[in-house]
Amino acid sequence: MISNLSFRYGLLFSIFSLLFSCAPEPPAKGAVVSAREEASKIGVAIMKKGGNAFDAMIATDFALAVCYPNAGNIAGGGFAVYRHSNSEMGSLDYREKAPLAAYAEMYLDESGNVIPKKSTFGGLSVGVPGTVAGLEAIHQRFGSLPWKDLVQPAIDLARNGYRVTEKQQQSFESNKEEFIQMNGEHTLYAQNFKAGDLVKNNALAITLERIAEQGSAGFYQGKNAEALISRVQETGGVITFADLNAYQPVWRDPIHFKYKDLDIYTMGPPSSGGICLGQIMKMIEPFDIGQYKQNSLEAVQIMVEAERRSYADRSLYLGDPDFVQVPKDSLLDVNYLNQRMATFSFDRATLSSDINPGTIVWEESEETTHYSILDSMGNAVAVTTTLNGSYGSKVFVDSGGYFLNNEMDDFSSKPGVPNMFGLLGGKANAIAPEKRMLSAMTPTLVLKNGALSMIVGTPGGSTIITSVLQTILNVYEFEMTLQEAVNAPRFHHQWLPDLVTFEPKRFDAGFIQKMQAKGYDIKEEYSRIIGRVDGIHISEENEITTGADPRGDDKAVLFY
């Protein structure tokens, strides 16, 4: 009798479970896509508590500062491009600034030559951080949950620990020597963490508690300011209390341009991202690139040639709009852009020396991170934030548990000499006190026929712009899903050096040979991963899908 009853209950339970597991997922109401699962989950948890996308942004950002220390940060800077549910479009610039004591020749020796590593390694490479002030500004304007509640998940993550991934283990190993050189052998990230290990960062938990209690004053004043300044100064830097006190983020109009039935909103100067993306897309538009296959010879040629012309303009005209006049409208003028492409022929590569002369060396890509957030009310944020190089200047504030940026390298230390991304800059991007260094970060929102359609961005230094471009074209011209678009092989060109970089082993030899036959210089030794794109797509039927880049540990978490 008993066994018969339990059999029947068992059967009923199985039927219920089966029905339950077969029930279709309800449609997602929002999503967070970031470089780490922990951070994406924290962002979604905030939305589940009733927070909006801006609240989720703050929580996600602080979480990345804990578990993605190569680029997530509290001592770096970034840009956010947003769409409010009331349809307002805007952007916040919380880019780092040059210290008051900075000057144009600060990285040059007596003969006027750039001193190697001075703008990338150590205290003098550190720009005045903007992240905490930026997040606070977002909260003051758009936040709906208490600030403390948004910082708390990151405090818990720092205190309880996060798991090291395989990729992270490699990253710690390859930077260990420099961590030790800068910070001594007891520094946290030189402790040989292996994949699966738990990293607890109690010092960062305490710093975050100060920020939770005091807001940005917990970072820019008091104990943290003292620790930051003394660490910068003992490693050769010049940041003072006056710099920290003076830091202010700036609300700016995003760059807006049309491409067919799309309205694209993206970051303007001091990022070059938006203007370059706009120039490239407007140069491509007349070619109706969708008639060619994705990554076909013709499609790649059109994109490379538009990129060549835009990156040449970047080096001459772009800088901090609070210091130099950026001819934004002229650079995005359709007649000007059509004229720029007039010299393009499918028969033969244009030589970069015919666009503008120069010779430079390409160096390895460094790190930044991007995340995309959508909430159930229709608020959307695309955020790209950075320490510049992986782990920034490598200067670790031991008592605070965080790395300092090396964003000063994004200035042009000397006109005509490339930065770590091989990018050239001119006078417009020369160093001056309190100036913001030129960026390539391109957090972007796409509207289709007036409705929000995509939130997208990526790290990747100079390859940020071209990775965002390819993702957008893959979806809207080559009809891929966002995840397919993100996964697709990428290539990059940036005027100088005059070569095209293809992701390793992702383009077949026949294709590469055809490019070479057209006169394109392809140096396979420079091949590398290009970008780590994280995005959200909203279909015309309102279906939310995501793209999290498999090149990293990136993860999309949907909000139901």
Helices of type H across 296-396: 297-317, 328-331, 334-340, 352-355
Residue 468: CB minimum distance to ligand GLY, A: 12
410 binds ligand GLY (CB under 6 A): yes
**Nearer to ligand GLY among residue 153 and residue 273 (C-beta):** 273
315 binds ligand GLY (CB under 6 A): no
What is the 3-state composition of the chain as percent helix, strand, coil, each rounded to the nearest 5? 40, 15, 40
* Contact criterion met (CB below 8 Å) for 278 and 288: no
Residue 215 to residue 443: CA distance in whole angstroms? 25
| Residues classed as catalytic | 368
403 SS3 class? strand
475 binds ligand GLY (CB under 6 A): no
**b/e for 7-25, b at 16 or more Cβ within 10 A?**
eeeeeeeeeeeeeeeeeee
| CA end-to-end distance (rounded Å), the chain | 43
The first and second tokens of residue 294, run together, are 């994705």
Applying CB under 6 A, among 350, 368, 458, 463 the residue interacting with ligand GLY is: 368
**Nearer to ligand GLY among residue 34 and residue 405 (C-beta):** 405
Dihedral sign for Cα atoms in the order 143, 149, 152, 154: negative
477 binds ligand GLY (CB under 6 A): no
Query: What single letter denotes the amino acid at residue 97?
Result: K
**Nearer to ligand GLY among residue 278 and residue 461 (C-beta):** 461
Binding part of the chain for ligand GLY, among 132-140, 207-215, 390-398, 437-445 by CB under 6 A, reads: 437-445
Residue 461: CB minimum distance to ligand GLY, A: 5
Applying CB under 6 A, among 60, 91, 279, 439 the residue interacting with ligand GLY is: 439
Match 């100088």 to its residue by tokens: 496
Residue 384: CB minimum distance to ligand GLY, A: 8
The first and second tokens of residue 228, run together, are 């930051």
386 binds ligand GLY (CB under 6 A): yes
Name the closest residue to ligand GLY (Cβ): 439
**Nearer to ligand GLY among residue 429 and residue 474 (C-beta):** 429
Residue 401 to residue 395: CA distance in whole angstroms? 11
The CA-based angle 145-222-435, given to 5 degrees, is 80
Residue 308: CB minimum distance to ligand GLY, A: 19
The one-character DSSP state at 350 is P
**Nearer to ligand GLY among residue 301 and residue 365 (C-beta):** 365
Applying CB under 6 A, among 40, 388, 412, 458 the residue interacting with ligand GLY is: 388
Residue 245: CB minimum distance to ligand GLY, A: 24
Applying CB under 6 A, among 66, 203, 440, 533 the residue interacting with ligand GLY is: 440
The first and second tokens of residue 536, run together, are 């959200």
Binding part of the chain for ligand GLY, among 144-152, 438-446, 511-519, 535-543 by CB under 6 A, reads: 438-446
User: Binding string to ligand GLY for residues 218 to 247, with x set by CB under 6 A, is what?
Assistant: ------------------------------
**Nearer to ligand GLY among residue 182 and residue 420 (C-beta):** 420
80 binds ligand GLY (CB under 6 A): no
* Contact criterion met (CB below 8 Å) for 219 and 209: no
461 binds ligand GLY (CB under 6 A): yes
Residue 368: CB minimum distance to ligand GLY, A: 5
**Nearer to ligand GLY among residue 375 and residue 407 (C-beta):** 407
Binding part of the chain for ligand GLY, among 183-191, 255-263, 372-380, 439-447 by CB under 6 A, reads: 439-447
* Contact criterion met (CB below 8 Å) for 76 and 128: no
* Contact criterion met (CB below 8 Å) for 169 and 204: no
**Nearer to ligand GLY among residue 467 and residue 546 (C-beta):** 467
Residue 81 to residue 97: CA distance in whole angstroms? 19
Binding part of the chain for ligand GLY, among 53-61, 286-294, 436-444, 507-515 by CB under 6 A, reads: 436-444
Residue 472: CB minimum distance to ligand GLY, A: 18
307 binds ligand GLY (CB under 6 A): no
**Nearer to ligand GLY among residue 372 and residue 494 (C-beta):** 494
Applying CB under 6 A, among 199, 441, 544, 557 the residue interacting with ligand GLY is: 441
Size of the site for ligand GLY (CB under 6 A): 8
Query: What single letter denotes the amino acid at residue 338?
Result: N
* CA distance to 216, 239, 242, 371, 386, per residue, from 245 (Å): 10, 11, 5, 28, 21
412 binds ligand GLY (CB under 6 A): no
Residue 343 to residue 245: CA distance in whole angstroms? 50
452 SS3 class? strand
The one-character DSSP state at 187 is S
Match 């402790």 to its residue by tokens: 191
Residue 488: CB minimum distance to ligand GLY, A: 22
207 binds ligand GLY (CB under 6 A): no
120 binds ligand GLY (CB under 6 A): no
**Nearer to ligand GLY among residue 28 and residue 64 (C-beta):** 64
Strand partners, 492: 501
DSSP state letters, 60-129: HHHHHHHH-TTT--SSSEEEEEEE-TTS-EEEEEE--B--TT--TTTTB-TTSPBPTTTTTSSGGGPPBP
Binding part of the chain for ligand GLY, among 97-105, 261-269, 280-288, 434-442 by CB under 6 A, reads: 434-442
* Contact criterion met (CB below 8 Å) for 92 and 252: yes
Phi and psi, residue 546, nearest 5°: -130, 165
Binding site for ligand GLY (CB under 6 A): 368, 386, 388, 410, 439-441, 461
